[in-house]
């Protein structure tokens, strides 16, 4: 096969920490002014669904931003150039 060019491929596993940090920052900013709540029953203090909704929202927003940035500015993220081949084997041409 003959190389006809190359393309930039983003290394998505390396973007994981960036997405995690972005999500945490969104949650922190959106919940910074929330008043502390005293749990009625200490056994169920973590059952409040409101923080879960905030985390889901923040994850959705950070992934949307990351997808848009990768779509428009792919080379600013970690990745590598990968060769593109024409798919024709030289042996097939010689036959």
Query: pTM score, two decimals?
Result: 0.64
Q: Which residues have CB under 8 Å from 69's CB, separation 6+?
A: 76, 77
What does the alpha-carbon distance between residue 83 and residue 71 come to, in Å, rounded to a whole number? 20
What is the per-residue pLDDT for 28?
Answer: 93
Cβ atoms of residues 47 and 12 within 8 Å: no
In angstroms, the CA 15 to CA 9 distance is: 12
Which pLDDT belongs to residue 11?
83
Structure tokens at 50: 């409101």
pLDDT digits 0-9 by tens, 32-90 = 988 877 666 667 666 778 888 999 999 999 999 988 988 898 888 888 888 888 877 66
Beta bridge pairs of residue 85: 3
pLDDT of residue 39: 62
> What six digits make up the tokens of 89?
């084997």
Which CA distances in Å does 40 have to 17, 35, 44, 52, 93? Answer: 35, 15, 8, 19, 78
């Amino acid at each position: 096969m003959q190389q006809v060019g190359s393309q930039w491929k983003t290394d998505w596993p390396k973007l994981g920490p960036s997405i995690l940090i972005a999500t945490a920052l969104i949650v922190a900013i959106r919940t910074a002014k929330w008043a502390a709540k005293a749990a009625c029953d200490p056994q169920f203090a973590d059952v409040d669904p409101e923080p879960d909704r905030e985390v889901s929202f923040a994850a959705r927003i950070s992934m949307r931003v990351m997808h848009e940035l990768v779509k428009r500015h792919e080379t600013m993220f970690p990745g590598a150039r990968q060769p593109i081949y024409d798919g024709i084997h030289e042996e097939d041409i010689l036959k």
